[in-house]
Amino acid sequence: MEDLPVHELGLLRGTVEGCDIRYFGSLLALDTHAQPLLRAGLIAPIPAGVPRDDDCQFYEATEAGRAFYSAHLSDLGGNAMGRANSWGDHPQLVAAARALVDVFASSSPRGLE
């Protein structure tokens, strides 16, 4: 997919769907991909010791993150399975990624780093 934040999109999608790492093959850069989502208020760290009723391990979606998911990602279905970096150029994914770039740009003077 062109130069768009698919990993960030995958992390956001995973947090809303109940498994923050579902669309990652490696956790090595998870924190790096989380930073713009955290700055934008779309995800939050899971507080230590808080019982969960889902499979999220590190991050959870905020109300703003769930709203973004509903507006841009809820109808993906089988169009984006597996690792986020293998999703391809599906038009809905490209549109969602561009919308996420706009959110990042409005939440940080430096935008997506």
Percent of the chain with pLDDT over 90: 62
Q: What is the pLDDT of residues 71-105, one digit of tens each?
A: 999 887 776 777 877 777 777 888 999 999 999 99
Tell me the pLDDT of the chain averaged across its residues: 88
Q: How confident is the model at residue 66 (pLDDT cuts 50, 70, 90)?
A: very high
Name which of 5, 42, 49 is nearest 20 in CA terms: 42
Q: Which amino acid is at 85?
A: N
H or E element that contains 38: helix 30-39
Pairing of strands 59-61, 43-45: antiparallel
Mean pLDDT of 29-55: 94
Which residues fall within 8 angstroms of residue 37, CB to CB, at 6 or more apart?
8, 11, 12, 43, 59, 65
Read off the DSSP letter of residue 4.
S
- Mean pLDDT over 32-55 rounds to 95
Give the H/E segment covering residue 61. strand 59-61
pTM: 0.88
H or E stretch covering 96:
helix 91-107
